[in-house]
Structure 1
Amino acid sequence: MLDPFRTAHDAQVLALAIVNTIPEPFLVLDEGFHVLAASRAFYEIFRVDAAETQGHSLFALGDGQWNIPALRHLLETIIPDKVAMDGFEVAHDFPGLGLRIMLLNARKVIYDDSAAITILLAFRDVTANRLIEGEKAGLLAQAEMLLDQKQMLLEEMRHRVANSLQIIASILLLKARAVASDETRKHLKDAHLRVMSVATVQHHLHTEDGIAQIDVGPYLSKLCAGLGASMIGEDSPITIEAQADPGMTESATAVSLGLIVTELAINAIKYAFPDSKADARILVGYERNGADWKLTVSDNGVGSAAVFLPGETGLGTTIIKALAKQLGAVVAIGSGPDGFRTTITKASFASRDKAAAAVAA
């Protein structure tokens, strides 16, 4: 193979041409840190000329602007023990340039036929990158502070809403005890129960970790437990149980589901068990099928729709139908000797039991 370099001078010319094509500042130093060659980018960026650079000590260039302790440490301490060093960061206020942050990459070149050592030193200006990173960090810190403030305000709002609901419920109950009219007392007690239902939904909704998305299964289980604890007397054998598929839903949907469950549970507590029953039970079921769902509230009480939902224009019925319409769902009721059932179905939901039966057929 022919040697393309006929003389040492040819090799030096090629090496200098390579150095000058590098778009970033680049130096070739001898073992005493004197400049053997510098790239055109080095001269242009740091505003020095070749006569004042080549052959001079790096630390004496430009009135000592490179006499930086961190750089001295790199060249005098680290490089002698290592062949290479990458990403050594130096921050310095250069005359005429201002503060610059440089990443230095150094390579020590050892020759087979000579004891001389050459050091290649490349500079990369990352000042703009660091400024952007600093701005991003500042914006992130500001965003986190705003989120913390928002969370504090949200918690304060939750407490205020909860306290207001409790005060309203207490006032309604006191009024119910004070009035002489049985009909007025009944309406006030119904209003008290509905305010308590909203308070119960609000409490259990806000115990969830997320705000935008709620896991329906645990949410309904906690809600039923809360309803049982707050609305069923100690002498009553009624239990409320939830059997719900896991899955996330929007918080607005969870609110509506909670209000429906609470309204139906209140009606069941009031009407489904006129006589004491040892195994009285209210069951809340929730099934999912993709974006569709089915909510069922059933009991093993007397099974009379006329007793359970008195009148098509009753407040409870109106509330449930309005919430179902808002959710794009339909309401169906059924009663029999085994109790009463209300089903709210979203879109074309098909129960797993029915789907399995169709496949088997």
Structure 2
Amino acid sequence: MPTSLQGIEDAQTLAQAIVDTIHEPLLVLDAEFRVLAASRSFYAIFQVDPEHTIGRPLYWLGDGQWNIAALRVLLETIIPERVAMDGFEVEHDFPGLGARTMLLNARKVIYERSANTTILLAFTDITARRAIEREKEELLERTEDLLAQQQTLLQEMQHRVANSLQIIASILMIKARAVTSEETRQHLSDAHQRVMSVAEVQAHLHASGGVERIEVGGYLTKLCASLAKSMIGEDRPIILEVVADEGEIGSDKAVSIGLIVTELLINAVKYAFPAGTPDAQVMVTYTSAGDGWTLTVADNGVGKTPDAAPGKHGGLGTVIVDALVKQLGATMKVQSVGGVSVSITHAASVLLPQAA
């Protein structure tokens, strides 16, 4: 059966035992902020003894080491208006301890049968925690600075690569205009288109501000617009249309897809539409589902035999397309019904069920 304490001495003994049991430094103060009790950890950590602690005002302890402006605000301003205060942070240079950051929790105890009040004041040393947090913040700042420098270098590299590609493309075009051999001129022109295809990828990456993944629809639209501007003349009007979903792909794969589209467009413009072909059209479509996708380049031209490769007339084009399709881990299908349709398909990954 529960029993009550028999007298005030028993209550004081129990209270002191509780205070001493607490691991963190703890003080019990009266309404005038005089120390009524202190935990053993308080004496040990702050290097004071009971003789110079009990009955003395808090601000006098340890040659005035607790005469701290922030602590006065807590005890004299906040506590009178509130019953409790948690997480009050104090930074101070304590004699014998050095600079410390303390987290203070205070509770005002109001008694039913007495007008007296008592204040419980607990201390937690968070110096090490704050030091770790500051180190993390400094590390984060350094990391952000390094990332900013990396981004600047990347942008500079992209700018230089774009300029280099433009120079190469210009040289190829100048050479194509200067040579007398029609075959050589055509080869130089094709090389120019391939360089422009890579340059368009670089430009799109730079505009999107990233190098990891790009949106395929926007990229193909810009690429085909650039190719049409240089490949399709007014004397041979060909409608070039792009239809793509919102799928994204890695920038490395985007380069390969761009080169495939370039080769297939070069082939279609060269061979699908003899002079005077009305309503000539090339359709570029891209659909995706997960990491699977299908790229199709189809024209409504004169067509060819079903077993003909898309780059049959170019030689190098065939080699390039075949190599890029293998590099992408995709398959190619060629159909010739009312024109030529070339589909490049990358199958979606199949997730196998995990064993129980």
Q: Report the Cα offset of residue 242 of structure 1.
A: 2.3
Alignment-derived partner of residue 353 in structure 2: none
- TM-score, normalising length: structure 2: 0.91
Distance 1:235 1:18 in 2: 98
Distance 1:222 1:167 in 2: 20
Amino acid aligned to 2:269: I
Distance 1:182 1:307 in 2: 23
- Aligned with 1:273: secondary structure? coil
Alignment-derived partner of residue 311 in structure 2: 309
Distance 2:84 2:114 in 1: 19
Distance 2:132 2:119 in 1: 32
Distance 1:88 1:69 in 2: 13
Distance 1:197 1:246 in 2: 21
Distance 1:39 1:141 in 2: 41
**Residue-pair matches, total:** 347
Correspondence list, 1:328-347, <5 A = 328-336=329-337, 338-347=338-347
Alignment-derived partner of residue 25 in structure 1: 25
Q: Report the Cα offset of residue 129 of structure 1.
A: 0.9
Q: Report the Cα offset of residue 92 of structure 1.
A: 0.5
Distance 2:235 2:285 in 1: 26
- Aligned with 1:285: secondary structure? strand
Alignment-derived partner of residue 38 in structure 1: 38
Identify the range of structure 1 (279-288 vs 73-82) with the bigger mean alpha-carbon deviation.
Answer: 279-288
Distance 2:188 2:131 in 1: 64
Q: Report the Cα offset of residue 346 of structure 1.
A: 1.9
Are 2:335 and 1:319 aligned?
Answer: no
Alignment-derived partner of residue 357 in structure 1: none
Identify the range of structure 1 (339-348 vs 148-157) with the bigger mean alpha-carbon deviation.
Answer: 339-348
Amino acid aligned to 1:314: G
Distance 1:285 1:100 in 2: 66
- Measured on the aligned residues, the alpha-carbon RMSD in Å equals 2.1
Q: Report the Cα offset of residue 258 of structure 1.
A: 1.9
Distance 1:107 1:308 in 2: 83
Distance 2:224 2:169 in 1: 20
Q: Deviations over 1:288-342 (max 9, x none)?
A: 343332211111122136696335x711111111111111112221213x21111
Amino acid aligned to 1:310: K
Distance 2:276 2:42 in 1: 94
Q: Deviations over 1:186-232 (max 9, x none)?
A: 22222222212221232224333432222333333333334334443
- Aligned with 1:10: secondary structure? helix
Do the aligned partners of 2:27 and 2:37 also contact (CA within 8 Å) in 1? yes
Unpaired runs of 5+ in structure 2?
A: 350-356
Do the aligned partners of 1:173 and 1:189 also contact (CA within 8 Å) in 2? yes
Distance 1:347 1:59 in 2: 76
Q: Report the Cα offset of residue 264 of structure 1.
A: 1.4
Distance 1:181 1:249 in 2: 40
Do the aligned partners of 2:215 and 2:248 also contact (CA within 8 Å) in 1? yes
Distance 1:324 1:103 in 2: 64
- TM-score, normalising length: structure 1: 0.90
Q: Report the Cα offset of residue 169 of structure 1.
A: 1.0
Distance 1:88 1:234 in 2: 78
Alignment-derived partner of residue 146 in structure 1: 146
- Aligned with 1:207: secondary structure? helix
Do the aligned partners of 1:90 and 1:103 also contact (CA within 8 Å) in 2? yes
Taking a change above 3 Å as real, the CA distance of residues 308 and 255 of structure 1, as seen in their structure-2 partners, is: closer
